[in-house]
Amino acid sequence: MQTGPVVGIAGASYDVARPWGDLATHGVPRSYVDHVLAAGGRPVILPPRSSDLLHALDAVVLAGGGDLEPHLYNRPDAPADGVDRDRDRVEIDLVRSAQRIGLPVLGVCRGAQILAVSYGGTLVPDLGRRSRT
């Protein structure tokens, strides 16, 4: 029997093209699961609105993805690509629920941005290219 922390990985919803049509899917890139396993954890992919499952976990990981809705960090004019408003809302709720019960959360790329916004922070929407002089 495998032991180790149970790590919930917040999955994203997307469509996978199949010959018979699009298949609605919920998941994460395989590398997240592989890395949790390699670190000795037991990964569980979390479906949306799964805050009630947090008591069964030892930690949560928020994966990367598209940009956050700029309204969330008071920059409605900011450029944004790949915004998924529902995912933004679900993951912010997940972070706040985890905080209430003292559950550690790791944010990777977009996930780190979700953490910042969840705690009232803001983002620099586009760093652009900076010259090295």
Structure confidence by residue, pLDDT tens digits, 110-130: 999 999 999 999 898 777 644
| The pLDDT value given to residue 128 | 67
Range(s) of the domain holding residue 13: 6-118
| Domain-located, residue 23 | yes
Q: Is residue 54 part of a domain?
A: yes
Question: Is residue 40 in a domain?
Answer: yes
Flag whether 130 is in a domain: no
pLDDT in tens, 1-45: 678 999 999 999 889 999 999 999 889 999 999 999 999 999 999
Burial (CB count within 10 angstroms: exposed 0-12, middle 13-18, buried 19+), residue 3: exposed
Q: Is 39 helix (H, G, I), strand (E, B) or coil?
A: coil
Specify if 32 maps to a domain.
yes
Task: Examine residue 70 and state whether it is found in any structural domain, yes or no.
Answer: yes
Q: Could you tell me if residue 128 is inside a domain?
A: no
Q: What is the pLDDT of residues 74-109, one digit of tens each?
A: 898 888 888 999 999 999 999 999 999 999 999 999
What pLDDT is stored for residue 32 in this prediction? 97
Are the beta carbons of 92 and 49 closer than 8 angstroms?
no
Closest C-alpha among 57, 52, 28 to residue 42: 57
Q: What is the pLDDT confidence band of residue 48, given thresholds at 50, 70 and 90?
A: confident
Residue type, 78: A
Phi first, then psi, for residue 87 (nearest 5°) are -60, -40
Domain count along the chain:
1
Here the CATH number for the domain that contains residue 43 is 3.40.50.880
Say whether 49 sits in a helix, a strand or coil: coil
How far apart are the C-alpha atoms of 81 and 66, rounded to whole Å? 6
